[in-house]
Structure 1
Amino acid sequence: MRKTGTKAACLLLAGAIGIGGIGLFPEARASAAKTAGAASAKTIPQVIAQVSPSVVGIIGEVPVDAADDWSGGGEEGGEGYGLAHGSGVIIRSNGWIVTNAHVVESMENIQVVTSEGKSYKVREVYSDPVSDIALIHINVTGFKPAKFVAKSETTLVGEQVVAIGTPVSLSLRNSATVGIVSGLNRATNAQYRLIQTDATINPGNSGGPLVNMHGEILGINSMKYAAVDIDNTGFTIPADTVQYIVNQLFKQHKVIRAGLGLELEESFSATVGLPSDDPLTVKEVLSNGAKKAGVKKGDVLYSVAGHRITALVDLNELMKKYVPGQAVRVLMQSEGDIVERRIVLAEE
C-alpha cells in the first residue's frame, strides 16, 4: 500500500561507514522453547562473551556515486571507489548471516570479518530494501549461530540491552554499548514498527544485534535520529519482523507481500504522531481485487479482519500474516454508509 505525503523525521540509517513457518532460524529453536522469564539473566560481560562470536563486520567497495548517498562516512579505496562497512549476525552454522539491506545494497567485493579476525568472501546476497533486511552467505561451516528471542512481545520497556557491532572503523569491530529499551512499536518512517533504544548506535553498527540480558537477540539495529541536541535515539528491527523477511529470503530469495491493492492516506494526527482513532482514506484503487469488491476513491477504511486500522504501519504489520490471493473482510464507509467488503489480497 502506497502512502501519500511524508512524515517529518530526521532519521539516518546507522548504516555503514566508508511467513510464519518453522520459527526464527532452525539453529535457534532452543531459544524459542523458553520465555524471557524462564531464561537465566546474565551479567553484561557474560552477554557480550556469549553473543560476540556470532557478530561479524562486513566490508566492501562502494562506487563513488553511491558513496555520496551513503549514510555514514568512508575510507578511500581504489580509483572511483570508497570502502564502506557495517555489521551482521550469524544465524546458521553454515555461513548464513543477517544484516541490513542498506549495508550491502551498493557494496562490491564484500568480505565478512569474524570476531577473531578471519575474513571470508561473500558468495550470495539476498536483500529486501523495504524492510532493510538482507541475507548474505559465506562458504564456511562451524560458526556459532546467535539465539533470537522467541517472541518480540516479551520485550519490555526499560529492560537492559546491549548493542554489538562495528562502529566508525572496522578496527573497532565487536564494540559493545549498553542501554535500555526506550520504547516499543515505534512508527517512524519504516515499513514496520521498531524497537527504540538509548544504547549508542553509530555509523557501522547497522546490521548488528540488540541483545537482552538472557543473551537473546531482540532485533537488528537499523537507524537512529541524528541532529543537533538529539542523543542516543536508535531503532531496531524486531525479531518477529526479521523472521518474516528471512524465511522468505531463504525460500524464494525475495519477499512477496500481500496488500489490499489500495493507495491509502493517514489522518493528519496519525502523520504527526498524535494519538488518533481516525480511519484511513482511499486515495486510489489499484488492484482488480479491490475494484471487484466495490471499493471507490474517497471511501474510508476502519478495520481489516476485525483489526482497527489507524495508521499505514498498522496495516503493514497485519499483512505479515497473509499472502496474495487470500481474502479479508474490511469495514469501510462508502457514500455515507458503513459497509463490509471482501477483498482478495494483491501482491504489493
Structure 2
Amino acid sequence: MKNRMLRICSLIALGALLVAGTTWAAGTNSVATYAMNATKINGEVYVKASSLTNVLGGTGTFDSKTNTYSYTPNDIPAVIKKVSPAVVAIIGKPNDVGSADPRYALAHGTGVIIRADGWIVTNAHVVEDMSNLVVVTADGKKYDAVRTHHDEASDLALVKIKATKLPIAKMAPTPLKVQVGDTVVAIGTPVSFSLRNTATSGILSGMNRSVSSAYNLLQTDAAINPGNSGGPLVNMKGEVIGINSLKFVEVGVDNLGFSIPADTVQYVTNHFFKYGHVKRASLGLELEESWSALIGIPTSDPLTVKNVTSASAQKLGIKSGDLLYKVAGKQVSAIVELNELLKGYLPGQQVEVMLQSDGDLITRKLTLVEG
C-alpha cells in the first residue's frame, strides 16, 4: 500500500503546606522537574499544596488530626472522567455521496466544547463537506449544529449548537509545556458513531513535526482512528494539548498520529472570535525550501524567493531568486518555521527581513499583508 497521511474523519454506512524537593513522573517513560513557588522556613523549603495540584493536577487532602497531607496524582481514568464530558461526536451527510443510499451515507468526527454556550472546535476537514450536522454530547443529548468558521490552512473549524451551561475542556496554557514521553490520552469517535467517547492512551512521541501541515504538529502513539478527527489529545492534568488531525498510514506502520498543538488552536479560535476569520500575516512572498529542509535534514539553508506577490515587497526591490535568511532576527529555513513565527503578527505590521540579493546581504522593514 502506498504510504500516505490520512485525515481521520470517518465515512460510515449507517490551603496546607508540603515539604518541597520531590521530582514527579510526568509520563510513562520520562521524569520532569517542575518549578513551584516556595518559601524557606528555618532551613526547610515549603511549597503550597495548591501550587502542587495546580502544576501537576491531581488532588490533595489535609488531615488536621494527624497533621498530614495526602496527594493523589491524576491517573488515566481520572483524566478521562474530567475531559470526556466536553467531547462530542459530530455526524452529517457528505455533500458528495456518489452512488450510496443517501439515507445511510454519513460521515462523522469529533469535537471539543470550548465555550459553555455551545461553541465547539473540530477539524476543518470533518465539517467542510458535510451538511445536516448533528452533535451528540457525552450525556447522549442531540443538537442540530451549524459550521460557523473554517480555516483550511490550520485544519480547524468552529461548530455552534444552541445550548447553555455545557461542560468545557480546559486548553493547556501557552507556551505549551510538554516533553517527549509524557503520558497522553486521546478521546474521540473512532470508526463507528456508536463508539462515541472512546479513550486510548500512549505517550507524546514527538514535537514540532512538519507533516502535511502549515504549522508544527504533535506526534503521539495513542491509537487514533478514522472518526477521531477533531477530538482532544490530553495531558495528565486533564488539559487539552492538541486536537487530533492526522495519522500516517502504511503497511507495517503503527501508531503514528498527529495533533494540532493547543497554541495553534488558541491562535486560530481567537482570530475566529475576534475577526470572523484568521487574519494570517504573510510576507507577500512565494518561497521554496532547500532540498535538505524538504527531506527533514537539519539545515541553515535560506528560503528561496520564487515569486513576489505583494506591492510592499515589490517596493523594497525584493525579487525572484533572492534568498531569505532571517525574519524578525530569527533564522528561517522551513516554511513551517516561518508560519509559526508569523502567528505573532497581524497584517499591516512591519517585520525586519534579511535577504541576499545580487550577492549582497540586505535588511529591510517589510509590511506584512494578509495571506
2:102 to 65, 73, 78: 78
1:163 to 181, 186, 193: 186
Alpha-carbon offset, residue 77 of structure 1? 5.0
Residue type at the aligned position of 1:53 = P
Q: Secondary structure at the match of 2:138?
A: coil
Pick closer, same or farther for the CA change 1:262–1:121 going to 2, 3 Å. same
Q: Distance between the aligned counterparts of 1:250 and 1:194, measured in 2?
A: 23
1:44 to 72, 76, 81: 76
The answer to whether 1:317 aligns with 2:371 is no
1:100-133 CA-to-partner distances (Å, cap 9, x unmatched) read 0000001111000011211100044211111000
The answer to whether 1:55 aligns with 2:87 is yes
Q: Distance between the aligned counterparts of 2:282 and 2:86, measured in 1?
A: 35
Q: Distance between the aligned counterparts of 1:263 and 1:43, measured in 2?
A: 47
Contact 1:198 1:232 in 2 (8 A): yes
Residue type at the aligned position of 1:175 = T
Q: What is the aligned partner in structure 2 of residue 258 from structure 1?
A: 281
Write the mapping of 1:116-131 to structure 2, written as runs, cut at 5 A.
Answer: 116-131=139-154
Residue type at the aligned position of 2:80 = I
Q: Distance between the aligned counterparts of 1:208 and 1:232, measured in 2?
A: 16
Task: List gaps (5 residues or longer) in structure 1.
Answer: 1-7, 19-32, 69-75
Alpha-carbon offset, residue 294 of structure 1? 1.5
The answer to whether 1:272 aligns with 2:266 is no
- TM-score normalized with structure 1 length: 0.88
Q: Which protein is richer in strand relative to its size?
A: 2
Q: Distance between the aligned counterparts of 2:312 and 2:357, measured in 1?
A: 17
Root mean square deviation of aligned Cα: 1.9
1:91 to 97, 114, 122: 114
- Identical amino acids, percent of aligned pairs: 54
Residue type at the aligned position of 1:51 = V
Q: Secondary structure at the match of 1:122?
A: strand
The answer to whether 1:338 aligns with 2:361 is yes
Q: What is the aligned partner in structure 2 of residue 237 from structure 1?
A: 260
1:188-215 CA-to-partner distances (Å, cap 9, x unmatched) read 1200000000000100000000000110
Q: What is the aligned partner in structure 2 of residue 11 from structure 1?
A: 5
Pick closer, same or farther for the CA change 1:330–1:253 going to 2, 3 Å. same
Bigger CA radius of gyration: 2
Aligned residues: 318
Q: Distance between the aligned counterparts of 2:113 and 2:265, measured in 1?
A: 13
Q: What is the aligned partner in structure 1 of residue 306 from structure 2?
A: 283
Q: Distance between the aligned counterparts of 1:189 and 1:267, measured in 2?
A: 17
Pick closer, same or farther for the CA change 1:34–1:92 going to 2, 3 Å. farther
